[in-house]
Structure 1
Amino acid sequence: MTDSLGRTHRFRTLVWFISVVVVSTAAALAQLSTASLNGVVRDATGAVVPRASVTLHNSDTGVERNTFTNDTGTYVFSDINPGRYTLRVTAPSFSTKQVSDFVLAVNQTATIDIALDPGAQTVVVSVEATSEQLQVSSAELGTVIAGNQVHDLPLNGRNFTQLLSLTPGVAPISVGQNSMGGRSGGFAAPIAEGAAFTFPSINGATNRSNYFLTDGMNNFAAFLSTYAVPPIVDAIQEFKVVSHTDSSEFGSVLGGVVNVVTKSGTKQFHGSAWEYLRNDAFDSQDQFAPVVHYHQHQFGGAVGGPVALPTLKQNTFFYFAYQGFRYSKPVATRILVPTAAMYSGDFSSICQSGFTGGICNDRTPITNLVDHQLYNPYTTVAGSGFSRTPYLNNQVPVGTNPGDIQPQIVTFLQTVLPAAGAFDPAFNSNAFDKDPNTQHQNEYNLKLDHTFGQKDSVWFRYSRINSNVLKPTDLPGLTTNQAIPGRNWGGNWVHTFSPSLQLQALFSRTTVSDNAYTKFKTDLTNVIQAAGFAPGFSSNFSGAKGWLLPSYDLRNGYVSGGESVVLTPQATDNNQFSVTLNKLKGTHTFTFGANYISSVFSSPLSFDSVSFANGQTGDGNGNAGFSVASALIGVPDSANRRDVDERTRPGGLFSAFFQDSWKASPKLTLNYGVRYDLTLIPPYGTKKTIDKSGGIETGDFDFSNGTYVLQYPPPPCTVRGHAPCIPSIMLDASGKAVACDPATQQCLPPGTLPPHVVIDPRGRISHNTYTNVGPHLGFAYRVTEKTVVRGGAGIVYDNWAAVSQMSQNIEGDWPGIGQLIANNLNVPGGLTAPSGTPTATYGDPFSAGGVSAGLPAPTPFFSGGVNWHYDPHIKNAYAYQYNFGLQHQINSTTTVTGSYVSALTHRANIGGMYNTALKPSPLANPQSRSLFPYMISTFYDRSVGFADYHAFQLSVDKRFSGGLAYQVAYTFSKALTENDGWFGAEGKNVADPYNPRASLSPAGYDLPHLLVMNANYELPIGQGKRFSTGNHAVDYIVGNWQVNGIMSVRSGQRYSVTYSNGDQANTGNVGWGGYEQANLVGDPNSGTCPNGAHVHTQTCWFNPNAFATPPLGTFGNLRPNPFQAQRFWNVDFSLFRGFPVWSEGRKLEFRAEAFNLFNTVIFGAPNADQSQAPPPDGNFSTITQRATGNNARVLQFGLRFIF
C-alpha cells in the first residue's frame, strides 16, 4: 500500500519539528526521577552576590557538584539523585555558609536561599535547612513515599503499589481490565500470587490513565496500563505519585505518573537479607472460602557500595538485589453445578410455590407474571407476541427430539463438571474446586553509577523477572500454566557544559512476554466430538493443536470454563529515547525536552465458548425460563470463537515540551510552558500475517459515513479458497450483497467489493491526532517563611490508555473469520429466531456465518458475529486540570497541605454497542430503526464522552525524626463519568449510545470519603532513647522495638442494579448485559427479602421488590452506580524487634505483620442483576464476596538482616 500525500507532508513536518527541537535545544524527561535545587545568594543588605561558588555534596557517596551564581545571584542544580546533601557557598570578602544534612526527594524542586555575612572565607557558618520541605517553586500535586515507609510499612506480598493510596486523590478501586493486574488471563503484570496490589484511579481519571517510571525510564505495560517489571521493595529508595502538575515536562496521562527511584551504591557497603513466611496456620478463616493448606516464602538479599577497583572506587558505585518468591495454595472455590435431577429432566426444584395444572405458581414482583416455569422453544407460535407450550411441572423429557434434554450434552457436562453435593444456600453452591495454585518467581536488579569529574555522570540499570504460575479456573481439572518473563534496562548520561547549561540523555528498553495455556487435566477430544461440537467451532485453530474444550456457560451462578491458548511474546515491547537541556538565564530556568517511546504488540490466541440464558426456555416474551434447562436442550444465547494471530506494526508516543520556571521575585515563582503529545497508534497487522487468520487483511466500521474500511484487501475467495478473502457476491433486489449463485448468472466479477466497503490507501485504519498541544501555567507564592500559596492549570492529554489493546481489537474481522461473537441468539423475533423457533445450535452456532465452511459472509454488515471496533478517527481524551492550595510548615519536619483539585475531561472514551436503534421501542426489527439499517450493531469505541472530578484534598506529612514518621491523606471528592473505561467491558456502560450524557453518574471508582494514615514509630525504650534503664543488658532486652501501620477508611464501592436478560429496550443491543438499568419502584433500604432476611445483611443487602424489569421498549429509570456497598475500613500493622549485632549499623530484625489486624469482614457489592431471582431461589440482592482489599486476617513473619 502507498501513503497519501497528506500523510507524507505530515511526516516531513514531524521530522522537521523533531530536528528543530533536538538540534536547537535537545529534549525530554528532565527531572522525572531526580531532584533540583535552586536559590539566590544575597549579602546582609539584601543585594545579590554574583559569581559565588556553590558546592553540593552528596553525604552518602561523597560526590560533589559545583556551580556559580549568575548576575542575578541565582544558582541551579538540575538532575540531582535523591538523597542526603550538604550545600556550601563561598565568595570573596564573605564567610563560608554551609547548610548541613538536608534531604532532596524524587521530583522535588527545592529552594534554599543563602544570606552571606562579611568575613573571611575560612570561617564556616553552619545553618540548618528549615524550609526544604515547602514546595515553593511549583504547584504540582504529589506525595513522596520515603524509603523508611517503603521498607517498613506492612505490605501484603511486598508489592509497592499498595503504597500509592498514601497519596491524596488516589482511589484504590479498579473497574478496568487491569483490576486483577491481568492475572485473570493473559497480558499480565508480574504479580506475586496472594499479594495485594493497586492500579488505582488518580484524581478522577480512569484506571488505565496512569504511567509507571523506574529511575525515569519507561516501565509501562501499555496493554493494560500497569507496570511492566515490578521493582524489588528493598531496592527502592523512594517514589512519588505526580499529578496535576504545572510543569509541561509531565503529561501523556490524565491520572498520575508514578516515579520510582531505585537505590544506588554509596561509599560504604550497605545491604540487607530477608525471609518472609506465611502459611495457613497463621491466618484467620475467610467465611467466603473453605480451609486450605498453603505455604508462601519470599526471600532475597541486596548489597551496594563502591566498586572495589583502585581507579574506580571513589567514583563508581553498584547496587544489586535479588528476590525469590515461592507460593503453593490450592484454591477452595465454592461452585454451583447442575444436580442429578436436572440431568434427568426434573426442574421442579426451581419452582418455590408448587404447581397448579402443571404451571408453576411463582410470580414476578410487581408485574405478577408467571415465573420459574419452563417452556419448549420448539413449540413457539407467533401472534401479537409469542406463545409456547409449557413443560408441565417443569419436567423436560430426555431424548433426541428438538426440545428434549440431549443425552450427549448430559454426558459431556457430567464428564467435565463434578457431581453436585449438598447445597449451601449461604453461598449458592454445591461443589468445590480445589485445584493447585503455585508460583515460582525470581527477580534481579543491578544498578551502576559512575561520575567523570565535574562534567559528566552516567548510570546503568538492569532489572529482570521470571514468573511461572499454575492457577485454577474455578472448573475442577482445568488449570492455566502461565510464564511471564520481563526485562527493564537502560542508562542515563548527564553532561554539564557550564554552570548555566546542562544536558541529559536516556535510553531504555522494556519487554514482557506472557504465555498462557489453559488445558483440562485429561484429553477430552473424544468427549468434545461425541457432544456434537463442529470442527469449525472447536477445532481447526491456527494457534492451537487439536480440539479445545469450549466454555459451556450455564449462567445463573453456575460454573463454566474452557480451554484456550493465549501466547503473547510481545505483551510489552518498548524502546525509549530521551534527551533534556536545562538553561539558566537570569532568574529564568528554561527546560526543553523531547521523548520518543516505541510500542509493538503480538499475541496468537485461540478459544471457543457458548452461553445459555433463561429466555430460551421462557415463554417467548422475555419471562420465566431457566438457563440450565436451555443448556441441556442445547439452545444457546450467545457464542464466541477466536482464532487470531494478533500483531501490530510499530507505534508509540512522541512528546516535546518547553518550560520556564521564573523567579519573578524572592517570594513568587511562575511556571509556564507548553507540551506537544503525538500518539502514533500502532497499525494492526504485519505482512507476515498475510493469508493468516486474524492477520493484516481485516477492516473496521466507520459510522461517521456508514462504510466499512479495509486496510489491506485479500484476493478473491475463488483464488485463495479460504478466509480471509473477498467472497463472490451478487446483489439482490434491494441492492444488498448476497452469496453468489452461479445459476442466476448475476454474479459480480471475483474480487468485487460489496456496497459501502472501501479501501484505505494508507494501508491502516486509524488516523493519528496531530493537534494535542497542552499549555501549562502555575505559580507558587511564599506568603511567609513557612507558608506557601500555589495553584496551577493546564491541558493534559491521555496518550497511552488502551491504545495498544484498541489497535488489535479488529483482528479477525471481515473478510476474515478469526473473531466471531454472537449475542442474543435464538431470541424470538431476532435474526436467529425470526418466527420464535431456535435455529442457532450449541455445537455450531456460527454455521450461518460460514465458519464451518472456512469462508467469510458476503458482506461485513451481517457476518454472523460481532467484533470490538473503534472509530477510525478516534482521538485522545484531554482534560482541563486545575488545582489551588495552601501549604504550611508546622516545624522543621512537618507540613500540612490543603488543595482544591478539579479535572474536566473531554473526548473521553465511550464503548459498548453502537448502531443500535436510535430510540428504544417495543416495535419489532430494531435494526430498521438504527443509524445505518444495512449495518449490524457492534461494539464500538468513540471519543465523545465527558467526565467531571472535584475534590478537596488534605495531607499532613511528618518526615522521620525522633523515631517517628507519619502521613495523613484525606480526600473528599466526586467523580462523575458517562462511561468508566473501554470496550464495553470496564465498569458501567451507557444505556443510550446516542445520548451518553444521560448516563452521567458516579464512576465505579468514585469514593466520596477517603482517609489513609500511616506511621513508623521506634518505641523510645532502650539505650540512647528517652526511656533508658541505664543498664546495657536490660536496655538490650527491653529496647529496639518499632511499630508500623496503615489505616484506611473509605466510602463503600459504587454499584448499579441492572437487567441483563436480553435486550429489554429493544434497540438491538446484542452486547453482554449491563447496559440496561432496572426500574426503581420502591425503597431498597427497607423491608425484607423473600427468604425472610432484613435489608443490609449478607443474604439481603437491599429489598429486591424495590426493583422491577423495565417495560419492553424502555430503558430503566435508574442511572448507573446510584448505590454504595458497605463502608470500608482496614488496619495493617507490623511489629519489629531489632537485635544489634557485631557493630553499629548492623542488626538482625524480627518482623511480625498482620494484614487486616482486627479481622474485619467488609462486604463487597451485592449481586445486583435484577433479571436473576432473589433468595432463596437465586442470589439477587445477596453478597457472596468480600470488598476489594478486604481479606481474612493474614499473619506474616520475617527475619531481616541489615548492614
Structure 2
Amino acid sequence: MNTRTRALALSSFVIAGSAAGYAQSTATLSGNVTDPAGAVVPQAQINVHGLATGVDRVVISDAAGNYSVPSLQPGNYSVTVHAAGFADYRVQSITLQVDQNVTSNAKLGLAATGEVVQVQGATPIIDAQTITVGQVIDQKTVQEIPLNGRHFLDLTNLTPGTVVPPVTGSLTSASRGLGANSFNTAGQREDSVNFMINGINLNDLTQNQITFQPSINTTSEFKILNSTYSAEYGRSSGAVVNVATRSGTNQFHGEAFDYLRNNYFDARNYFNRKPQQQNQFIRNNFGGAFSGPLWKDRTFFFLSYEGLRQQQSLPLTSGVLNTTQRNTLAANTTIPGYAGLLQFIPAPPATASATGQATVTGAAPGPVKTDQFSGDLFHTISQQDNVHAYYAWQQDARTEPNLQGNTIAGFGDHRTAHRQIGTVNEVHIFSPNVVNEARLGFNRIAIAFSPNTPENPASFGIQNGVAFNNALPQISISDIGLNFGGPSGFPQGRFVTTGVFSDTLSINRGKNTIRAGGEYRRAIVDSYSQTAGTMNFDTANNFVQGLVNSFSVTPQQVVSRVFANAVGAFVTDNYKVTPRFNAEIGFRYEWNGTPTEGGNRLVNFLAATDTLTPVSQPYTQNYNYEPRVGFIYDVFGNQQTVLRGGYGIMADQPVTGVAANLAGNPPNAAPVSFAAATVAGVKQYAAANTQFTSAGLSGLSPAAVNPLLTNAYTESYNLNLQQQLGAGVVMDLGFIGSEGKHLRLTRNINQFLYPNGITATGVRPFAHLATTSPERPGSAVGAINMIDSDSLSNYNALWFTMRKALQHGLQINATYTWSKSQDENSLGSQGGASLQDNNNPRGDYALSDFDSRNHFVFSGTWNLPFHGSRLVDGWLLANITQLQTGNPLNVVTTSAFDGDSATGTIRPTLLGMPQVGHKALLTNGNVSYIANPAGSVCATVTTGCVFYAPAAGFGTLRRNAFTGPGFADSDISLEKTTKIYEQTALVLRVDAFDALNHTNFNNPNLTATTSATSTFGQITATRTATGDAGSSRQLQFAMRFEF
C-alpha cells in the first residue's frame, strides 16, 4: 500500500472536525453560551462590534449554545451576548489576529433590570481550536522590532523551525536593497513556500519566489504556518505566509518617516581593513501613510508610499595588463577597432613593473532605487455584505557591477522591474450560520536584465555571430585573473501574470462547522534571453594579439510563452466531540496542469527513443490527493493546557521553468563553440575577428524533462503541547517531522559509465541521437541534464517556544529549535546537476545545505516605565538576538570525472582527519578554517595527505561532511515618542544592527586543489556583504511624525 493510499485509509477512520473553521486572511470568533448552572443557552444573540471601525456582526447561538463568527477582519472587538431572561454579558475588548480562531465563552447571569455583566477583555493566548502549527507576528512586532533593511520576511526567523539561511542559498540570499525572496523552515526547500496577501497568491511561478515584499508600513500582521495546516491551503508543500494589510478606521491617522544609514557611523567590515578605503554604504528609506473614514462606520481607506535610495560601492580586485602589454594592445592594427578594449582596462599602479604582473584594487557603484505605492479600501455594503480591496505597485532598479565575476568596474548588469498585486475579498452572510467569502486577485512582475555597458562587439573587431548586439562577450584572461564584459546570457527578462479566484463557504451546524471551497489559478509567463557569448584567453600576451583560446555563443534569441493552470478544491468538517476534545479532518484535491508553450517551441529529449522530439506537454501527471487530519485536546478544560497532533500531505505546483527550459533546445537554438587544438605541439588559436567562422556546432547538451515527472509532496506530522504558565505567558513544546517525496532533482543522465574501470574509456549511455530523431538526427550528445522527481528528504525536530503577551508594556518571544534535515539536493528548482554520481542519487543523501542543529532567537519590546515630563515619557527598547550553529560544508575537487568538464560536483577521498573550525588570521589576510598545510591535498596517496583529489574517480567523502561557522547577531533599537498635541507625536529612533560587532564569517573556499597558492579551507569574506545583517555593526537613525 503506497503512502497516499495509507493516508486516505487513515482519514476514513478519523472523526470529523474542530469547533470552527478559519479563513486565510481573516479571523474567526467562536464560543459557547451557558447559564449560571452551566446549561447551554440556545437562541442567544451575539453582537461583535469593531472598536476601530464601528462595523457590527450579529449571530445566534445554536441548540447546543455554540456560536461562530467567521471572516472577521483582524483587529479589536467588543462582544455583547443577549438572551431573554438573562443579564447582558459584555466583553469590552478582545483582539483577533490573522488566520486565528479565538474562543470567547459567555456565562450569563440571571436578569436584573438594566444589569450588564462587564468582562475585561483577555484574548486567549492558547489556540484550543485548530491543528495548525504556526505563529502570528503581530503588528507591534512588525512595526517595532529592529530590522536590517526593514524587510518583513526577516521576521520569519522568529518562528520555530526557521533557520538563518545558508550562504549557498539562492532565493534565500538577500538581494541588495530588496531583501530575500524566500526562507527555509521546517526542513523545506526555499522554493516550497506559498506567499499570500489577503488570501491572494504573491508567488512568481518561474521560481516560486515572492514577487516582492510589501512595505512594513502597510503590514498589519502576518502568520506563518509551517506544519500540518488546514486543507484550505494548497499550492505548495512548505510553509504558508499569510499577510494581512492595514486598513483605515473611524479616525484619521497619518505618518511620515525617514530612516538614514551611512557607513561613516558603521564599524569596518572584518575584511575591509585599514588602510583600505571603507566601502561606501548610504541608505535612505522614506515614506508616509494616511488613513481614515470615507463614510463613518462604513468605508475606510489606507494609503501608503515608501521609497528607497541606496548608494553602495562594491570592492573589486583584478589583475591588469602591464605597461608593455598595454602598448602592444594599443598598437594592434591587425584587428580593426580591437585596440579600443584598452579603454575599459585600468592602468597598472605607477610602481608596477613594466613587464611583470600588475594588480589593482577599487570599487564599482551598485545603486538601488525602489518606489512602492499601495492603497487599501474596506467597505460595508450592508449587514450581509462587505468588501475589502488592496492594490500595491512597486518600481525598482538595481545595478550589479560584479555579476559573473567581473573584476573591473563598468560591467555587470542593470535590472529594472515593475511589480503589482491586486486583491478583492467579498464576504456575504446568507444567515448567521452560513457565510461565504470570495476572493479575486492577481500578481504581476515585469523584469528586464540589461548589460550595464551596452557595446557592439563589431566596433572592437570581435566576431560573435549575434545579429543584434548590445554587449561585449564575457572576456576572461586566465593567467592574470582579469574578467570583464558581458554578462553572458544577457539581456534577458520575463513578464509574469498570475490570476487567482477562490471561494469558501462556511456552514455552522451544531457541533460541526463545514468549510468547502476551491481555487483557480492561471499563470502566463513571457520570457526571452540573448547572449553575446564568452571568450577566453589563456594569457595576457595572447589577449593583446587577439588570439582566442576558446569561444562559445548561442546566436539565436530564445523566447517562450508558457501557460500554467491549476485547480484546487477542499472540504473540512470540524467537530467538537466533547467540550474538551476536537477532532479535525479535511481533504484537498489539486490538479496542477502541465505548463504548456503557446508557440509550440517545446522540444524534449526522450530517453526511451534517444530522440529530440517536439512535445506539447513534457509530462502528464498532474493530480494530487491531500488529506489533513488531527486532534486538539484541552486537557483540563480551562484552555491552559492543550495537546494537539496532526498529519497532512501537501503538494507542490511545479514552476514554469520545467517547460520553458525546453524552448532552448534545437531547432530554437543552436549553440556554437571553438576550442584551440594542439597540432604538432603548436596550439591553433582563433583570431577575435574570425572566431565565429572558426567555430562549429557544439555537441548537443539538451535540456530534458522526465515524461514520468510527478508533483513533489510532503508528509508532515506533529505532536505539540501548549501550557499557560501565568498571566499572558505560554510555553510550547513540540515534535515536528516531515518526509519529502518525489522532490525535484536535476541530473545528468548521460554521465560517462566505466564498466571496465575508471582507467578504461568511458561510455556514454547516449553517444548520438538516433537517426530517427526529428531534430538533429545522428548528432553527438554530451551532458543531458534532465529534470526528474526522484529525490527525497527527511526532517525531525524539537521546537520550544516561550511567549509573553503584551502586558504592562512588555512583550517577549523566545524560541529554540533542535533539528536535523537530510536530503539529496537542497535547491530544487534553483539548482543544476549537482550530484557526484548521477546514476546513484542516494549517494548524495546527507545533511541538507540549510541544516542547522541548533537555532535560538529572542525578541522583545519594552515600553520603559518612565513617567513624568515629556522628556522621560515615551521610551521604548526593542531587541532581536539570534544564535545558530553552522551549516554543512561540501568539499569538492577540480576533477571532472564525468567527462563534461562539470567541475564542482566530484568530492575527494578523506585519508586523515582535518582540523576544522579553528579560525586563525593568515598573512594573506584570510582566515583559516579547514587547516590546509602543504601536502594536505594531493593527487596521489602520500604520507601526510588528508584530502586525496585524484584526476578521475568518485571520492568517498560524503556530501556536506563538515560544519561551517555559526551565526550570532543582536540588533537593538531605542525609540523616544514625544507627544506634541493630543493626536500628534514626534518619534526619534536609533537602531544598532550587530550591536556587539560580532564577525559572522562566510563559509571557506571548499574546492580542494593541489595548487601551492590555493585558498582551500580559507575564509575570505563575512557571511553577508557590507550593509546586510551580520556583516558588522551598523547604526540607523530614524524620525517619524505621527498625526
Match of 1:1171 in 2: 1009
Deviation track 1:597-620 (CA, whole Å, cap 9, x = no partner) reads 11111122212343669xxx8xxx
Deviation track 1:315-337 (CA, whole Å, cap 9, x = no partner) reads 111111111222223x2413232
**Given the superposition, is the C-alpha separation of residues 555 and 673 from structure 1 closer, same or farther in structure 2, using an over 3 Å criterion?**
farther
Give 1:680-759 correspondences, 5 Å limit.
Answer: 680-684=593-597, 686-687=598-599, 696-703=600-607, 705-711=608-614
**Given the superposition, is the C-alpha separation of residues 567 and 928 from structure 1 closer, same or farther in structure 2, using an over 3 Å criterion?**
closer
In the alignment, is the contact (CA less than 8 A) between 1:554 and 1:560 conserved in 2? no
In the alignment, is the contact (CA less than 8 A) between 1:248 and 1:674 conserved in 2? yes
Question: Using the alignment, how far apart are the partners of 1:977 and 1:840 within structure 2?
Answer: 45
Match of 1:1003 among 843, 848, 852: 848
In the alignment, is the contact (CA less than 8 A) between 1:587 and 1:662 conserved in 2? yes
In the alignment, is the contact (CA less than 8 A) between 2:602 and 2:659 conserved in 1? no
Give 1:14-413 correspondences, 5 Å limit.
Answer: 31-120=23-112, 122-130=114-122, 132-173=124-165, 175-180=168-173, 183=175, 193-194=176-177, 196-197=179-180, 199-289=182-272, 290-307=277-294, 312-329=295-312, 331-338=313-320, 340=322
Aligned partner of residue 562 in structure 2, secondary structure? coil
Matched, 1:1196 2:1031: no
In the alignment, is the contact (CA less than 8 A) between 1:507 and 1:578 conserved in 2? yes
Match of 1:1085 among 904, 915, 921: 915
Aligned partner of residue 281 in structure 1, secondary structure? helix
Question: Using the alignment, how far apart are the partners of 1:669 and 1:555 within structure 2?
Answer: 70
Match of 1:21 in 2: none
Match of 1:1186 in 2: 1022
Question: Using the alignment, how far apart are the partners of 2:704 and 2:112 within structure 1?
Answer: 75
Match of 2:762 among 888, 906, 926: 926
Q: CA offset at residue 1040 of structure 1?
A: 1.9
Match of 1:597 among 521, 537, 559: 521
Q: CA offset at residue 420 of structure 1?
A: 4.6
**Given the superposition, is the C-alpha separation of residues 482 and 547 from structure 1 closer, same or farther in structure 2, using an over 3 Å criterion?**
closer
Matched, 1:954 2:808: no
Q: CA offset at residue 228 of structure 1?
A: 1.5
Q: CA offset at residue 1172 of structure 1?
A: 6.5
Deviation track 1:94-142 (CA, whole Å, cap 9, x = no partner) reads 2222222111111111222222232248421122455622111112121
Deviation track 1:129-181 (CA, whole Å, cap 9, x = no partner) reads 55622111112121111111111111222111111111111123154432446
Question: Using the alignment, how far apart are the partners of 1:842 and 1:1163 within structure 2?
Answer: 44
**Given the superposition, is the C-alpha separation of residues 639 and 545 from structure 1 closer, same or farther in structure 2, using an over 3 Å criterion?**
closer
Matched, 1:534 2:374: no
Match of 1:1016 among 858, 861, 881: 861
Question: Using the alignment, how far apart are the partners of 2:255 and 2:1003 within structure 1?
Answer: 42
Aligned partner of residue 601 in structure 1, secondary structure? strand
Match of 1:898 in 2: 733
Aligned partner of residue 811 in structure 1, secondary structure? helix
Match of 1:1053 in 2: 887
User: Please, which moves more after superposition, 437-446 or 314-323?
Assistant: 437-446
Aligned partner of residue 1018 in structure 2, secondary structure? coil
Question: Using the alignment, how far apart are the partners of 1:262 and 1:1087 within structure 2?
Answer: 45
**Given the superposition, is the C-alpha separation of residues 342 and 457 from structure 1 closer, same or farther in structure 2, using an over 3 Å criterion?**
farther
Question: Using the alignment, how far apart are the partners of 1:1040 and 1:258 within structure 2?
Answer: 33
Question: Using the alignment, how far apart are the partners of 2:682 and 2:705 within structure 1?
Answer: 34
Match of 2:720 in 1: 885
Opposite residue 1192 of structure 1, the aligned amino acid is S
Match of 1:1131 in 2: 970
In the alignment, is the contact (CA less than 8 A) between 2:604 and 2:703 conserved in 1? no
Question: Using the alignment, how far apart are the partners of 1:40 and 1:570 within structure 2?
Answer: 53
Opposite residue 305 of structure 1, the aligned amino acid is G
Matched, 1:1119 2:964: no
**Given the superposition, is the C-alpha separation of residues 106 and 850 from structure 1 closer, same or farther in structure 2, using an over 3 Å criterion?**
same
Aligned partner of residue 67 in structure 2, secondary structure? strand
Q: CA offset at residue 1050 of structure 1?
A: 0.3
Match of 1:492 in 2: 425
Question: Using the alignment, how far apart are the partners of 1:820 and 1:154 within structure 2?
Answer: 52
Give 1:530-609 correspondences, 5 Å limit.
Answer: 533-536=462-465, 539-540=466-467, 544-545=468-469, 548-552=472-476, 554=478, 559-563=483-487, 566=490, 570-609=494-533
**Given the superposition, is the C-alpha separation of residues 1001 and 966 from structure 1 closer, same or farther in structure 2, using an over 3 Å criterion?**
same
Match of 1:974 among 792, 797, 820: 820
Question: Using the alignment, how far apart are the partners of 2:687 and 2:716 within structure 1?
Answer: 51
Q: CA offset at residue 479 of structure 1?
A: 4.6
Question: Using the alignment, how far apart are the partners of 1:1007 and 1:1193 within structure 2?
Answer: 24
In the alignment, is the contact (CA less than 8 A) between 1:209 and 1:225 conserved in 2? yes
Opposite residue 534 of structure 1, the aligned amino acid is Q
Structure 1: 5+ residue stretches without partners: 1-28, 184-192, 346-396, 401-405, 618-625, 688-695, 712-759, 827-831, 852-862, 1024-1034
In the alignment, is the contact (CA less than 8 A) between 1:591 and 1:659 conserved in 2? yes
User: Please, which moves more after superposition, 315-324 or 555-564?
Assistant: 555-564
**Given the superposition, is the C-alpha separation of residues 1087 and 259 from structure 1 closer, same or farther in structure 2, using an over 3 Å criterion?**
closer
In the alignment, is the contact (CA less than 8 A) between 2:753 and 2:764 conserved in 1? no
Report the aligned-residue RMSD: 3.5
Match of 2:12 in 1: none
Matched, 1:909 2:744: yes
In the alignment, is the contact (CA less than 8 A) between 1:502 and 1:581 conserved in 2? yes
In the alignment, is the contact (CA less than 8 A) between 2:516 and 2:572 conserved in 1? yes
Query: 1 or 2, which has the higher strand percentage?
Result: 2
Question: Using the alignment, how far apart are the partners of 2:922 and 2:630 within structure 1?
Answer: 56
Match of 2:939 in 1: none
Matched, 1:1044 2:957: no
Question: Using the alignment, how far apart are the partners of 2:871 and 2:179 within structure 1?
Answer: 34
Question: Using the alignment, how far apart are the partners of 1:1054 and 1:89 within structure 2?
Answer: 57
Match of 2:979 among 1136, 1140, 1158: 1140
Q: CA offset at residue 1134 of structure 1?
A: 0.8
**Given the superposition, is the C-alpha separation of residues 566 and 491 from structure 1 closer, same or farther in structure 2, using an over 3 Å criterion?**
farther
In the alignment, is the contact (CA less than 8 A) between 1:821 and 1:866 conserved in 2? no
Question: Using the alignment, how far apart are the partners of 1:409 and 1:1006 within structure 2?
Answer: 53
Q: CA offset at residue 32 of structure 1?
A: 1.0
In the alignment, is the contact (CA less than 8 A) between 2:743 and 2:790 conserved in 1? yes
Aligned length: 980
**Given the superposition, is the C-alpha separation of residues 129 and 410 from structure 1 closer, same or farther in structure 2, using an over 3 Å criterion?**
same
Question: Using the alignment, how far apart are the partners of 2:687 and 2:635 within structure 1?
Answer: 73
Question: Using the alignment, how far apart are the partners of 2:789 and 2:28 within structure 1?
Answer: 38
TM-score by length of 1: 0.76
**Given the superposition, is the C-alpha separation of residues 1088 and 226 from structure 1 closer, same or farther in structure 2, using an over 3 Å criterion?**
closer
